[in-house]
Amino acid sequence: MSEQARKTAEALEYLTGFGNEHSSEAVPGALPHGRNSPQRAPLGLYAEQLSGSAFTEPRRHNRRSWLYRIRPSAAHPAFTRAGNGALRTAPFTEAVPDPNRLRWNPLPDPAPGTDFLAGLWTLGGNGDATQRTGMAIHLYAANADMTDRVFSDSDGELLIVPERGGLLLRTELGLLSAGPGEVALIPRGVRFRVELLDGEGGAPARGYVCENYGQPFDLPDLGPIGANGLASARDFRAPVAAYEDVERPTEVVNKFCGNLWTATYDHSPLDVVAWHGTHVPYVYDLRRFNVIGSISHDHPDPSIFTVLTSPSDTPGLAGVDFVVFAPRWLVGEDTFRPPYFHRNVMSEYMGLIEGAYDAKAEGFVPGGGSLHNMMSAHGPDRETFDRASAAELKPQKIDDGLAFMFETRWPITATPQAAGAEHLQRGYDDVWEGLQRHFRA
């Protein structure tokens, strides 16, 4: 939480493009050419492959990076079990899945000295981490940097959605920064450390995390939209190589099949001097999303707002989609313009990064979230319904908020800590109370 971290974040350089075969070296000559694993890697470095897909997966889905590092990752002491804090992992069996609509206020402020890892709190999820299916929804609230400790998640990739405060992410492949309105992705198994960019002595950094146990997030196909639109591949930014040459005890925390394991290395494992490959962290600015919508009538389904999708083995049926409700114009004629009433076979968790959301007049607040599970009836609250049914339909710019959704094919089971939380809004159902009958036969 230092001026230094802020300056570092401001000066960061990136490589651009989604899914590219990127390469980068922090020291000229560190990257071998023409082969991955020369008899002796340049500059006395160790060569190591990090796989994010099976060796044999189709080229389109194959992910791996080659890392050239000061010490091989294999040189480490044994891991021992650490407490899991408020982190939980699928299968979520501590409580039964609940068909009720649930909504939460933001997490309470954490105790002083809570870093990103200690500040992770699991709301719920689905699937089974050991089967590499499903996802978990976590929130974080942190007021301290991770110092002399790094985290890696063997269970899945982490899509981090900051809501308050910027983050400096020091990863094995280099540095990224992400603030509210941006998202960062840390691939499965990549070690990283989080420093806070804002809020010295003030409000904690907060946000949401989708832990995706399934196939890595990909850009959705565009179908009839054509070759352009939604999130553009060129707007995704990967880090350039940057390494720590630190010979000091560093705690490495590994989340493995739901439990945290810890080992203290005698050096920092963020010691990758050069790398190339496709298994890379990235950031994306949601404000760059090219929003496509109806220019005639009717409210399109929110799949049109998909930023990233984790496909499952059934085409069109995502393990999880990451969807953004970004500023846009509404022009539909003779149309109820806010989200419609609906019951969805998919399960929807929604969060709010700033402002308000057009289906909810109040109660859905930045840092809070709502869960509308499989087949649960939801949509505009009473106030929104009344207002939108009577509104004059001139072109209208929705630009007072940024909301998102994690939408998944499997029902989401809330953790007991989420279902019983102080910040769970009791009486959420009331927002649909008093919807009058208007039927006249």
Ligand X SMILES: O=C(O)Cc1cc(O)ccc1O
* Member of 25, 48, 145, 348 binding ligand X (CB under 6 A): 348
Smaller CB separation from Fe ion, 123 or 144: 123
Whether residue 299 lies in the annotated active site:
yes
Tell me if 382 contacts ligand X by CB under 6 A: no
Dist. CA 190–CA 73, nearest whole Å: 11
* Member of 120, 160, 169, 359 binding ligand X (CB under 6 A): 359
Binding track over 321-340 against ligand X, x by CB under 6 A? ------------------x-
Binding residues for homogentisate are 357, 378
* Member of 378, 412, 415, 431 binding ligand X (CB under 6 A): 378
Dist. CA 32–CA 167, nearest whole Å: 32
Which of 160, 180, 407, 130 is closest to 281 using CA atoms?
160
Which of 193, 175, 145, 194 is closest to 12 using CA atoms?
175
* Member of 348, 358, 381, 407 binding Fe ion (CB under 5 A): 348
- Determine which one of 76, 267, 299, 423 is catalytic: 299
Smaller CB separation from ligand X, 211 or 358: 358
Tell me if 358 contacts Fe ion by CB under 5 A: no
Tell me if 381 contacts Fe ion by CB under 5 A: no
Query: 140: which strand partners?
Result: 120, 207
Tell me if 344 contacts ligand X by CB under 6 A: yes
DSSP 91-131: S--SS----S-EEEPPPPPPPTT--TTTTEEEEEEEEEGGG
Smallest distance from Fe ion to CB 311, Å: 21
Binding residues are 342, 348, 357, 378
Residue 41 binding result from Fe ion, ligand X, none, given CB thresholds of 5 to 8 Å by partner type: none
Query: 130: which strand partners?
Result: none
DSSP 314-378: STT-EEEEEEEE-SEEE--TT---SPPPEE-SSEEEEEEEEE-BTTBSSS--TT-EEEE-TT-EE
Buried b (16+ CB within 10 A) or exposed e, 401-432: bbbbbbbbbbbbbbbebbbebeeebeebeebb
Q: How many residues would you count in the chain?
A: 441
Smallest distance from Fe ion to CB 90, Å: 22
Binding track over 292-311 against ligand X, x by CB under 6 A? -------x-xx---------
Name the residues that contact ligand X, by CB under 6 A.
299, 301-302, 339, 342, 344, 348, 359, 372, 378, 405
List the catalytic residues: 299
Name the residues that contact Fe ion, by CB under 5 A.
348
